[in-house]
Amino acid sequence: DAGITQSPRHKVTETGTPVTLRCHQTENHRYMYWYRQDPGHGLRLIHYSYGVKDTDKGEVSDGYSVSRSKTEDFLLTLESATSSQTSVYFCAISDGTGPNQPQHFGDGTRLSIL
């Protein structure tokens, strides 16, 4: 399995609190992604990174920020969590060296905002 670790695996918190999710990879892959998955919507891209300090927005970026200060770590922050951000969050990586390079996913973080 690809060396991707997400932490925490589960979190319950209250509306209005800040939350940071961490994705750590040991594959030295260039690209890292954060998705959320909700019933009926499938996987939706929140933000992605194409290198250290290089990030861009995805389809559902409102209310989220990211940072990538080193190749192996990609952080997702909810500055002030809302109940609509209750979801399963997946981190993914891809090496970007050429076509037909797939993504590999972490185990996911189940986040509940009460």
Partner 1 sequence: RKEVEQDPGPFNVPEGATVAFNCTYSNSASQSFFWYRQDCRKEPKLLMSVYSSGNEDGRFTAQLNRASQYISLLIRDSKLSDSATYLCVVARTGNQFYFGTGTSLTVIP
Residues that bind partner 1 (CB under 8 A): 31, 33, 40-43, 45, 48, 50, 90, 92, 94, 96, 99-108
What is the nearest approach in angstroms of partner 1 to the Cβ of residue 16? 28
∠ CA(3), CA(52), CA(1), 5° rounding? 10
With respect to partner 1, which residue has the nearer C-beta, 12 or 80?
12
Taking alpha carbons only, the member of 104, 110, 72, 78 closest to residue 91 is 104
Rounded to the nearest 10°, the torsion over CA 4, 90, 66, 78 is -130
Tokens of 76: 């997702």
With respect to partner 1, which residue has the nearer C-beta, 16 or 74?
74
What is the nearest approach in angstroms of partner 1 to the Cβ of residue 74? 14
With respect to partner 1, which residue has the nearer C-beta, 42 or 62?
42
